[in-house]
Amino acid sequence: MLGMKGVKIVEVGLRDGLQNETTNLSVEQRYDLFERLSDAGIKNIEIGAFVSPKWVPQMAVSSELASMIVPDLKKSKSKVNVSTLVPNLEGMLQALEADIPEIAIFAACSESFSKKNINCTIDESFKRFEPVMKLAKEHKVRVRGYLSTCFGCPFEGKVSEAKVVAIAKRMYKMGVYEISIGDTIGVATPGQVESLFKKLKKALPVAKLAGHFHDTRGTALANILAAYNVGVRTFDSSIGGLGGCPYAPGAAGNVATEDVVYLFDGMKVKTGVDLNKLLATNAWLQPQMDHALPSKVGRVGKAKPIGKV
């Protein structure tokens, strides 16, 4: 299958996961989680968001967490790449204050979602990026881009592929090094994934694209497989499937990192991540959350043959 060996896993549990949980982990718990993820071999970890704690109280400790992580990483010349989500200039100033080496910006692919989520049009959100990108360039901060509702919008339903491609191109031209194509509400199926990524590949280098799938309807791994089969090599995931509650209707979140690594281990595709360490992290994390973690591999583990009968 297509060039490039191995895949890159971008761990978003500390951000996209925790921001959708009712359990508000302490900064110490988050630090421990970061250490475990990093020890498991994950090289790209989003640790939080510089957003108003009024909007997202779960992200209030992001600055404090960054101050516990970033100086040590820089001192040790670690290869672990940490990032935070930044919605606007104010967030960018916090990111610079925290000396974060990478930020992520985000835009929606449907006007209704943009309006509801960040109270502005897609055009306006791109205007907000300008001063952020300018500062990022000045301070040599890498910028990743997220596009949400690429496969469907909770308000408008269908989202046109042409619109997603146009917005992705626009974001890429601003200077982001990678664009994560998000199935925010977890509606995508593999045919749609194949079709959209094929169109995106014509507009952008496929190495610059990532897949960000939510497992709301159980299709996330099938979608990852479909994206992999058309050449996508970067995938976002959350340890344990954080952000999704298997008990509550409608609440399934990011695909679980354990499940993604299990999938690729089985396909002999390198992730650089140690599944056993992820499973240990899941076992450590589980009692700290108020619900069972959705990861299926996290729940049952790898198969352990009992021995011949």
Residues 6 or more apart in contact with residue 55 via CB below 8 angstroms = none
Active-site residue 245, yes or no?
yes
CB of 275 to a copy of itself, least distance (A): 11
Of 302, 306, 230, which is closest to residue 261 (Cα–Cα)? 302
- The nearest distance, CB 114 to a copy of itself, in angstroms, is 9
Which part of the chain contacts a copy of itself (CB under 8 A), choosing from 34-42, 68-76, 112-120, 126-134? 112-120
- Per-residue exposure over 44-81, b if at least 16 CB sit within 10 Å of its own CB, e if not: bbbbbbbbeeeebebbbbbbbbbebbbeebeeeeeebb
- Footprint (CB under 8 A) of a copy of itself, residues 230-289: 246-247, 249-250, 252, 256, 259, 262-263, 265-269
- Interface residue with a copy of itself, options 58, 148, 192, 282 (CB under 8 A): 192
- State in angstroms the smallest separation of the CB of 224 from a copy of itself: 7
Asked if 295 touches a copy of itself (CB under 8 A), the answer is yes
Given a contact cutoff of 8 angstroms between Cβ atoms, the answer to whether 93 and 86 are in contact is no
Contact 260, 13 (CB under 8 A): no
Catalytic residue among 109, 150, 153, 245: 245
Across 70-204, the runs of DSSP E, i.e. the strands, are 81-85, 102-108, 142-148, 178-183
- State yes or no: residue 187 binds a copy of itself (CB under 8 A): yes
Provide the b/e sequence for 7-35 (b: ≥16 CB within 10 Å). Answer: bbbbbbbbbbbbbbbeeebebebbbbbbe
- Give the nearest distance from C-beta 304 to a copy of itself in angstroms: 8
- Binds a copy of itself by CB under 8 A, chosen from 81, 101, 112, 208: 112
φ, ψ of residue 85 in degrees (nearest 5): -80, 140
Q: Which residues here bind a copy of itself, judged by CB under 8 A?
A: 111-113, 115-116, 152-157, 185, 187-192, 215-219, 221-222, 224-226, 229, 246-247, 249-250, 252, 256, 259, 262-263, 265-269, 292, 295-297, 299-300, 303, 305-309
